[in-house]
């Protein structure tokens, strides 16, 4: 038997052997896992004498939990012995094993026992040596002979595969001395090691996670080995680290792992690529803390990216807040913590983040316990004044306020670094802190700390802060002013008077926003749009917000109290700055240009209480009125509408159908201008842009009860003819509102409208839509008119002659002919025709969904028929003299309209709320809303779910319900009781599901009723039974596939079957 697979695997394993810094061989476990795939294990076992039927079972067992044992046996070229380990249920968890243990697994005690039994029987007087045991003795001796050698070799080679895996965090481990640690050569030099009060820190390298990657992909980690071998010292720090790592905070040092080896306790942490803050402060700033224009040039104070330092300090403050106020709902823990050794050496710097590290002195106590702990030895520079009395050298208990003091010291050093020339500024500040005072036994003591002994602040620090404050005020630097004031408060001698870390964090976030806002303020000052009223509105609102956010954040925990709120405001400021840079290239004072500034300002204002926001608006209005008065005197601004323009940030009043421009709010005027601008752009679409004058709307017909006009009849003047030549068309109105004051929203809706009109003109199987001739813009009533041709009859090249055709809605037909058998009018509506109509509508909607769109406006008012007469004339039956044949209502060739709010069915799509039909009356609105899914409408128009595929099918299901009963929906809805509360939308929908749908079986049969039930009941459309209402509009891919699959199987196919069975002619082919 060849051993080709075994030899290849052995060679691959040997190629993966590394040497650690102690010259021990080892194979990283992750490399072994990648190598020993189950199929490869099986091929090696196929070369052994293990029974064929056992091999798949053994391969799975090896892959599950015995790869280290198998690797060892492969190196020994005896993989067949794996059967002994599996039979004895020995897995990798039993390693390392001793010689006696391996001998027992391989059967040596069992074989030797059997030999003794045989020899005892041979020596017995009752038996003679007749040679009957000779073969068995030879076999046992042959089995026993190699076991000692195998066991010795196995014990030696097993350690190659026993290096611990530090690629992921695990519980603390005690590692046997002979196990090779996976730290690669060379050993850290003395310069790579750094000793602290409580341990030695060194850099180590772990193998790359994938075999074959170069050394640059090796994982660098920091190993901290504690000096003390007392278990309690290690346990205190591990407890703190493990608790904090549960929070997964980006500014708290992550714990990769911990272990005890040769009695020494060790922690592993990820490597910070920029070292610690102490190192950073002694050198020129790294690229992450330099402005873009300064990178690659000689460093200077003016090139430092100060906002990066401010944001890094915010992250550090956030980490301290999590330590001081530790809370975890899963662990049901509320603790009060304190770092006790906060200094630059214990703050790592990775990219542009400050990371809180070294929790060797940290404490975390129950929230009801005294948080103070006796002060320990720590850095005198950053030690709080209450920690030690320098006259007696007596130490006192300290708590979280001591961290606030130390953090204030660090902020002061950072300020010196930023404003005074980097490392030179830090060194000068250190010298300025030099202070000598009388201490123990009246001897002089010289310190460079921030205090001058217990009970007083360092005079050099006081002067330095006063100078910095004066300079910041002279320069008008709001961020520096606020930072110096914060440092002053944090360096208060009495710990009780210092701000808590939560207030420090809020104030720091505000200071960071001040710094980010500085270029914005400058851009507002120098902008060429400074005389545009709308621009001035946004400028003053921004200024008012900036003035108010600081004092409010200082005292109100709701403002800037979360990381999310800070990120949102920071993003809004970034958007404002980007927009101002874009505006700098534009010289025209076009009002729509400033809508992005408005939206960003609204985000900023949302951080303030409602009363404060109203106060901001009043102040801005007064300021602009004052400026307008001055400008009018100088003839600059001329006429303007300050009050109307300020309505931009307030709710818009109701306006008449055709309001004057002056009466519109600024946002509405911007919306109209945006759409007019898009209409004036060059048209790359196949859908023509028409002039409003080319379309002549015909008067609406006399309104009947229950009617909802969803289209208008009109005359379209042919573009190639100047006068006289007109043709009949249909016009659908697509209303828009002030939300398109945002240019992005305007562009999205406009492009979507053009795309869906183009989609309608493309041939698509089963898709019943009219051809669009173009669209025009009606500015006065804020809508687009979508112009449709009459349908082209089969066999003709021209559209229907509308003078001979009547256009009627399905809802109108049900109102006019409300009985399926009318003996007085000799009219019948055959069951087969209704099945065919239902199938054609279902197939049309399904085809539209398959094209990746959703309709959003399905109702019987948006289903049209174009016919000379909507019934086949009856005549005298020759076989039944005196009787007239029944006429049949013609339901062939329905067409869908109402695509004005259709959109692509994609996640995160902007969704424009559907409106009523032409006229937008309250009654029409209520009628059309009844077809919408209750979740989309929400409870009292609030808590609305985003639109999705199933909501179209719900509306379609209601139309199918109408066809089945041959009654309009309003007659099928549960009537409002004369007394009692008003029925909710959910209650009305529930009535349809529980009463109307089951009753449909009596009219249309069980199969039809079941199909309608699927449309109306969400849980039948989704396999999971419920929709994810937390996501933005549009289905996820999985949801869309599930809904469409269920709809095809449970609705489309059954209705096609009914249509084929009941209708004599061939129904349309399914796509």
Domain boundaries, the chain: 4-163, 166-271, 300-515, 527-649, 661-700+709-789, 806-1062
The rounded distance, in Å, linking the Cα atoms of 151 and 99 is 5
C-alpha distance across the termini of the chain, in Å: 60
* Whether 501 contacts 317, CB under 8 Å: yes
Q: Mean pLDDT by 10-residue block, N- to C-terminus, for the chain (1071 residues)?
A: 88 94 92 94 94 94 96 96 95 94 95 89 64 84 94 95 80 87 72 61 88 74 81 76 85 88 88 92 92 58 84 96 87 85 93 91 69 55 83 81 95 95 93 81 80 83 95 94 96 94 96 95 90 84 93 87 92 93 72 76 90 86 65 44 41 38 53 80 79 88 77 84 76 83 78 83 76 88 90 62 75 89 86 93 90 89 82 52 76 88 71 51 79 80 74 95 93 72 82 91 94 89 55 64 88 92 54 41
80 alpha-carbon distance from chain centroid: 51
Q: What is the DSSP string of 615-647?
A: HHHHHHHHHHHHHHHHHHHHTSS-S--HHHHHG
The SS3 of residue 446 is strand
Contacts of 475 (CB under 8 A, 6+ apart): none
Measured over the CA atoms of residue 960, residue 964, residue 966 and residue 970, the dihedral's sign is negative
| Radius of gyration of the chain measured on its C-alpha atoms | 41
Residue ranges of E strands in 332-401: 333-338, 347-350, 353-356, 363-366, 373-374, 388-389, 394-395, 397-398
Other CB atoms within a 10 A radius of the CB of residue 721 amount to: 9
In which residue are the tokens 């929908």 written?
989
Strand ranges for 769-833 from DSSP E: 772-778, 783-789, 806-809, 821-822, 827-828
- Cα 645–chain centre separation: 35
Domain 806-1062: CATH superfamily, name plus number: Transferase(Phosphotransferase) domain 1 (1.10.510.10)
Mind spelling out the 3-state secondary structure of 564-599? HHHHHHHHHHHHHHHHHHHHCCCCCCCHHHHHHHHH
* Run of H or E including 42: helix 38-45
What superfamily in CATH does domain 166-271 come from? Phosphorylase Kinase; domain 1 (3.30.200.20)
Please state, in angstroms and as integers, the Cα–Cα distance from residue 869 to each residue in 118, 786, 840, 860, 873, following that order: 110, 26, 20, 19, 9
CB of 714 closer than 8 Å to CB of 706? no
Distance CA 873, CA 891 (A): 14
Confidence (pLDDT) at 99? 95
Strand order in the sheet with 199-206: 173-175, 257-261, 264-270, 219-226, 199-206, 194-195
For residue 186, say if its preceding peptide bond is cis, omega within 30 degrees of 0. yes
Preceding omega of 189 cis (within 30 degrees of 0):
no
- CB 605: neighbour CB atoms within 10 A? 21
> Considering all CA atoms of the chain, what is the largest pairwise distance in Å, rounded to the nearest integer?
139
Q: Which residue(s) pair with 154 in the sheet?
A: none
Tell me which DSSP letter residue 913 carries: P
With b for 16 or more beta-carbon neighbours within 10 A and e for fewer, the 212-244 pattern comes to: eeeeeeebebbbbebeeeeeebbebbbebbebb
DSSP type of residue 452: S
Whole-number Å distance between alpha carbons of 223 and 212: 25
Q: In angstroms, rounded to a whole number, what is the distance separating the alpha carbons of residues 1023 and 1045?
A: 10
**pLDDT score, position 644:** 38
Cα torsion through 582, 587, 588, 589, rounded to 10: 70
Nearest to 748 by CA among 536, 891, 901: 901
Q: Which residues of 426-436 are buried (b: 16+ CB within 10 A; e: fewer)?
A: beebeebbebe
Q: How far apart (Å, rounded) are the C-alpha atoms in residues 82 and 125? A: 42
* Residue matched to tokens 């999205």: 748
Pairwise CA distance, residues 826 & 925, whole Å: 35
Segment (H or E) for 317: helix 306-324
Token readout for 98 is 């001793």
Where does residue 924 rank: exposed (0-12), middle (13-18), buried (19+ CB within 10 A)?
A: buried
d(CA 538, CA 1057): 62
**Cα–Cα nearest to 148, from 112, 180, 117:** 112
Cα–Cα distance between 253 and 262 in angstroms, integer?
A: 26
Cα-to-chain-centroid distance, residue 270: 26
Select from 3.40.190.10, 3.30.540.10, 3.90.1170.50, 3.30.200.20 the CATH code of 661-700+709-789: 3.30.200.20
Cα 321 → chain centroid: 25
Class of the domain covering 300-515: mainly alpha
224/269 Cα distance (integer angstroms):
8
Cα–Cα distance for residue pair 656/651, rounded to 1 Å: 16
Closest by alpha carbon to 308, among 506, 516, 472? 516
Q: Is 806-1062 in the same CATH topology as 166-271?
A: no
How many C-beta atoms surround the C-beta of residue 260 within 10 A? 16
Cα–Cα distances (Å) from 950 to 5, 539, 685, 933, 935, in that order, read 55, 45, 30, 9, 11
Tell me the helices (H) and strands (E) count for the chain, helix number first.
38, 32
Q: Name the β-bridge partners of 865.
A: 808
CA dihedral 419, 425, 426, 427 (to 10 degrees): -170
User: Residues with Cβ < 8 Å from 913, sequence gap 6 or more?
Assistant: 901
Residue 682: phi and psi, rounded to 5, are -65, 145
Identify the CA nearest to 1069 among candidates 757, 864, 677, 766: 766
Q: What does the alpha-carbon distance between residue 583 and residue 589 come to, in Å, rounded to a whole number?
A: 10
Can you tell me the distance from the alpha carbon of 1020 to that of 1036, in angstroms, rounded to the nearest whole number?
17
């Amino acid at each position: 038997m060849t051993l080709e697979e075994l030899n290849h695997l052995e060679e691959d394993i040997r190629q993966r052997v590394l040497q650690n810094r102690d010259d021990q061989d080892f194979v990283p476990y992750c490399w072994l896992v990648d190598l020993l795939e189950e199929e490869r294990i099986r091929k090696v076992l196929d070369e052994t004498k293990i029974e064929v039927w056992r091999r798949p079972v053994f391969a799975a067992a090896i892959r599950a939990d015995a790869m280290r044992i198998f690797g060892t046996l492969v190196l020994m070229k005896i993989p067949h012995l794996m059967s002994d380990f599996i039979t004895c249920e020995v897995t990798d968890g039993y390693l390392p094993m001793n010689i006696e243990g391996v001998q027992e697994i391989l059967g040596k005690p069992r074989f030797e026992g059997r030999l003794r039994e045989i020899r005892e029987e041979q020596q017995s007087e009752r038996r003679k040596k007749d040679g009957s045991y000779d073969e068995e003795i030879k076999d046992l001796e042959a089995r026993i002979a190699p076991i000692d050698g195998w066991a010795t070799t196995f014990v030696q080679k097993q350690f190659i595969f026993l290096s611990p895996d530090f690629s992921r965090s695990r519980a603390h481990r005690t590692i046997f001395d002979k196990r090779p640690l996976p730290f690669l050569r060379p050993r850290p030099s003395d310069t790579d090691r750094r000793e602290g009060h409580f341990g030695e820190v060194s850099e180590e390298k772990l193998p790359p996670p994938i075999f074959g990657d170069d050394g640059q992909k090796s994982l660098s980690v920091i190993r901290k080995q504690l000096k003390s071998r007392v278990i309690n010292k290690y346990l205190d720090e591990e407890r703190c680290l493990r608790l904090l790592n549960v929070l997964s905070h980006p500014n708290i040092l992550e714990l990769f792992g911990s272990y005890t080896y040769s009695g020494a306790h060790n922690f592993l942490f990820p490597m910070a690529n920029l070292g610690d803050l102490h190192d950073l402060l002694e050198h020129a700033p790294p690229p992450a803390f330099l402005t873009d224009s300064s990178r690659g040039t000689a460093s200077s104070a003016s090139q430092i990216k100060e906002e990066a330092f401010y944001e890094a300090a915010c992250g550090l403050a956030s980490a301290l807040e999590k330590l001081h106020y530790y809370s975890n709902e899963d662990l049901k823990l509320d603790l009060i913590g304190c770092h006790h050794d906060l200094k630059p050496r214990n703050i790592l710097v990775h990219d542009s983040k400050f990371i809180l590290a070294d929790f060797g002195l940290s404490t975390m106590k129950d929230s009801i316990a005294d948080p103070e702990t006796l002060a320990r030895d720590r850095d005198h520079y950053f030690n709080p004044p209450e920690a030690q009395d320098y006259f007696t050298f007596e130490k006192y208990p300290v708590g979280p306020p001591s961290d606030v003091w130390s953090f204030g010291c660090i902020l002061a050093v950072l300020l010196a670094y930023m404003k005074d020339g980097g490392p030179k500024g830090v060194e000068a500040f250190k010298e300025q802190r030099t202070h000598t005072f009388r201490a123990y036994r009246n001897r002089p003591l010289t310190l460079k700390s921030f205090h001058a002994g217990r009970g007083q602040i360092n005079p050099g620090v006081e002067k330095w802060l006063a100078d910095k404050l004066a300079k910041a005020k002279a320069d008008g630097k709001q961020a520096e002013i606020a930072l110096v004031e914060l440092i002053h408060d944090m360096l208060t001698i009495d710990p009780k008077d210092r701000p808590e870390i939560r207030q420090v964090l809020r104030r720091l976030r505000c200071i960071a926003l001040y710094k980010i806002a500085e270029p914005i303020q400058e851009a507002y000052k120098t902008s060429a749009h400074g005389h545009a009223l709308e621009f001035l509105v946004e400028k003053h609102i921004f200024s008012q917000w900036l003035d108010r956010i600081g004092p409010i954040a200082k005292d109100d925990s709701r403002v800037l109290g979360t990381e999310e709120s800070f990120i949102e405001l920071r993003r809004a400021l970034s958007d404002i700055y980007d927009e101002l840079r874009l505006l700098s290239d534009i010289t025209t004072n076009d009002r729509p240009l400033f809508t992005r500034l408005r939206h960003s300002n609204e985000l900023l204002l949302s951080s303030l209480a409602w009363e404060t926001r109203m106060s901001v608006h009043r102040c801005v209005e007064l300021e602009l009125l004052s400026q307008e008065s001055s400008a009018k005197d100088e003839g600059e601004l001329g006429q303007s509408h300050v009050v109307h323009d300020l309505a931009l940030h307030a709710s818009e009043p109701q306006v008449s159908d055709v309001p004057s421009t002056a009466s519109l709010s600024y946002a509405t005027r911007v919306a109209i201008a945006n759409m007019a601008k898009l209409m004036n752009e060059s048209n790359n679409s196949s859908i023509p842009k028409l002039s409003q004058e080319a379309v002549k709307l015909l008067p609406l017909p006399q309104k009947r009860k229950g009617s909802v006009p969803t289209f208008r009849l009109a005359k379209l003047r042919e573009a190639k003819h100047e006068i006289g030549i007109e043709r009949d068309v249909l016009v659908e109105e697509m209303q828009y509102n002030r939300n398109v004051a945002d240019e992005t929203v305007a562009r999205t809706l406009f492009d979507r409208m053009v795309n869906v009109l183009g989609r309608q003109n493309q041939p698509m199987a089963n898709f019943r839509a009219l051809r669009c001739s173009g669209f025009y813009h009606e500015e006065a009533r804020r809508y687009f008119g979508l112009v449709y041709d009459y349908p082209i009859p089969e066999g003709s090249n021209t559209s229907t002659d509308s003078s001979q055709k009547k256009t009627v809605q399905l809802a109108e037909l049900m109102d006019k002919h409300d009985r399926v058998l009318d003996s007085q009018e000799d009219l019948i509506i055959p069951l087969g025709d209704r099945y065919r109509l239902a199938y054609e509508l279902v197939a049309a909607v399904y085809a539209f969904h398959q094209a990746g769109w959703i309709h959003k406006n399905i109702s019987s008012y948006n289903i049209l028929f174009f016919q000379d007469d909507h019934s086949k004339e009856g005549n005298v039956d020759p076989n039944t003299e005196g009787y007239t044949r029944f006429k049949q209502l013609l339901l062939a060739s329905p067409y869908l309209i109402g695509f004005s709010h259709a959109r692509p069915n994609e996640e995160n799509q902007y969704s424009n709320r559907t409106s009523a039909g032409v006229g937008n009356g309250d009654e029409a609105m209520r009628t059309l809303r009844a077809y919408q899914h209750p979740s989309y409408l929400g409870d009292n128009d609030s808590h609305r779910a985003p639109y999705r595929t199933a909501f179209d099918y719900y509306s379609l299901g209601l139309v199918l319900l109408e066809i089945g009963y041959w009654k309009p929906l309003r007659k099928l809805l549960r009537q409002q009781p004369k007394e009692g509360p008003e029925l909710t939308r959910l209650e009305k929908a529930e009535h349809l599901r529980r009463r109307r749908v089951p009753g449909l079986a009596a009219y249309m049969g069980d199969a039809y009723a079941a199909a309608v039930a699927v449309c109306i009941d969400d849980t039948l459309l989704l396999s999971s039974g419920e929709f994810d209402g937390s996501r933005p509009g549009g289905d996820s891919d999985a949801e869309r596939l599930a809904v469409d699959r269920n709809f095809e199987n449970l609705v489309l196919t059954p209705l096609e079957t009914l249509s084929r069975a009941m209708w004599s002619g061939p129904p349309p082919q399914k796509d």
